[in-house]
Amino acid sequence: MIKKVLLFAFLILSFSSIAQKAQRIGYIDMEYILENIPEYNEAQSKLNSKVITWQSNIEVQQKEIESLKSELNIEKALLTNELILEKEEDIQIKSLELKHLQDSYFGTDGDLFFLRQQLVQPIQDLVYNAIQEIAVKRKYDFVLDKSSDLIMLYTNKQYDISELVINSITRTKKIDAAKEKQAGGKKEDGTNETITKKDENAVKVLSEREAKKAELQKRVAAKRAEQLKKREELKKAIEEKRQKRIKEIEDAKKAKEEKNKNN
């Protein structure tokens, strides 16, 4: 709401400052424009596919944590305080790992932010460049976005330059494709190879990031497994020592009883 008020205030002040000349205002529908750019739809499809995979990985860990909590609640009455603390520690470690996984996927510098920047940003730049070119050429003072938070109570279709933007982008892509064809770089299906290469490079870099992350998680898991093994070995050694001590006490008691019996 504050943004809208400030924007309207800015527009009013701007209108007042240039009231001596006729103002040209156009508008676009960004959602409509992006829907009509095949590369954008492909990028969104790739993003959605990755998000589904990441969400699935998160849900697997969430279910594992819930299962550990459920087991602890069921077995708590039968466990020693030491075992309860160990299980609670395992749950806490799993919860921290889940938090780190969520941040690595959806955090401010996570994979989603990185992939969106690599796949979608070039397309958005293409759109903004086309809008700027049309605005300068047609001498528009303002170009508003109908699909943004700005409430446009009425719009005259004749001031909608969305189709002009789409046509400009299509024309730019055809020119680029023609140049690439001359350089021997155009694909048979006529797609824009520059954007395709950016997509492929982004997916490749993301795969490398995921591979490094998987390797790190593997090392962490191996280290945890080693720590658990050492803890179990220590518990076993302590238990064996305790049982040995109990046997020594019982043997000594029996020997004493035999001695008293013989006397």
Question: What is the rounded distance in angstroms from the CA atom of residue 30 to the CA atom of residue 166?
Answer: 10
Per-residue confidence (pLDDT) for residue 5, from 0 to 100: 44
Q: Which residue has the higher pLDDT, 236 or 187?
A: 236
Per-residue confidence (pLDDT) for residue 56, from 0 to 100: 94
Q: Which residue has the higher pLDDT, 249 or 57?
A: 57
Please name which of 182, 220, 194, 5 lies closest in space to residue 98, comparing C-alpha atoms: 220
Per-residue confidence (pLDDT) for residue 83, from 0 to 100: 83
Q: Is the pLDDT of residue 132 over 50?
A: yes
Q: Is the pLDDT of residue 35 over 60?
A: yes
Judge residue 186's burial from the number of C-beta atoms within 10 Å of its C-beta, 0-12 exposed, 13-18 middle, 19 or more buried.
middle
Mean pLDDT, residues 135-161: 81
DSSP string of the chain, one letter each residue = -HHHHHHHHHHHHHHHHTTTS---EEEE-HHHHHHT-HHHHHHHHHHHHHHHHHHHHHHHHHHHHHHHHHHHHHHGGGS-HHHHHHHHHHHHHHHHHHHHHHHHHHSTTSHHHHHHHHHTHHHHHHHHHHHHHHHHHTT-SEEEETTSSS--S---GGGB-HHHHHHHHHHHHHHHHHHHHHTT---TT---HHHHHHHHHHHHHHHHHHHHHHHHHHHHHHHHHHHHHHHHHHHHHHHHHHHHHHHHHHHHHHHHHHHHHH-
Q: Coil, helix or strand for 144?
A: strand
Per-residue confidence (pLDDT) for residue 192, from 0 to 100: 52
- Tens-place pLDDT, residues 192-208: 555 555 556 666 666 66
Q: Is the pLDDT of residue 63 over 90?
A: yes
Per-residue confidence (pLDDT) for residue 255, from 0 to 100: 77
Per-residue confidence (pLDDT) for residue 174, from 0 to 100: 83
Task: Assign 72 a pLDDT band (cuts: 50, 70, 90).
Answer: confident
Average model confidence (pLDDT) for the chain?
77
Length of the chain: 263
Task: Assign 190 a pLDDT band (cuts: 50, 70, 90).
Answer: very low
Task: Assign 64 a pLDDT band (cuts: 50, 70, 90).
Answer: very high
Q: Which residue has the higher pLDDT, 219 or 12?
A: 219
Q: Is the pLDDT of residue 15 over 70?
A: no
- Tens-place pLDDT, residues 84-126: 888 888 888 889 889 988 998 998 888 888 888 888 888 888 8
Q: Which residue has the higher pLDDT, 213 or 120?
A: 120
Please name which of 144, 158, 155 lies closest in space to residue 30, comparing C-alpha atoms: 144
